[in-house]
Amino acid sequence: MARIVGNVVSTACHPSMKGRSALLCQQINELEEPQGEPFVSVANHSAGIGDKVLITTDGSYTMELLGDNHTPLRNLIVGIVDE
């Protein structure tokens, strides 16, 4: 679980990012307290800053979903958690 804390903007990106957003995420624990360092995830949904999200770090799943076996992306937002 993580909370989206920002947007990532880049002047160049890998072709597998076309049409997708990169978001800065902060892992949270069961009390919703921040854990560790923020990291970048690809948004496959319309998640935004402040949303609590479920993330997979399975690079092979991300490659399969994006349809690109050479993507450098590993973290993918797979769901938005309702309150």
Question: Mind listing the pLDDT tens digit for each residue in 14-71?
Answer: 888 888 889 999 999 999 999 999 999 998 778 899 999 999 999 888 888 888 899 8
Q: Is 60 helix (H, G, I), strand (E, B) or coil?
A: helix
Measured at the alpha carbon of residue 48, what is the angle toward residues 42 and 7, in degrees to the nearest 5?
Answer: 60
Radius of gyration for the chain, computed over Cα atoms and rounded to the nearest angstrom: 12
Rounded to the nearest integer, the mean pLDDT of the chain is 91
Which residue has 């479920």 as its token pair? Answer: 54
Between 17 and 7, the higher pLDDT residue: 7
pLDDT at 12: 87
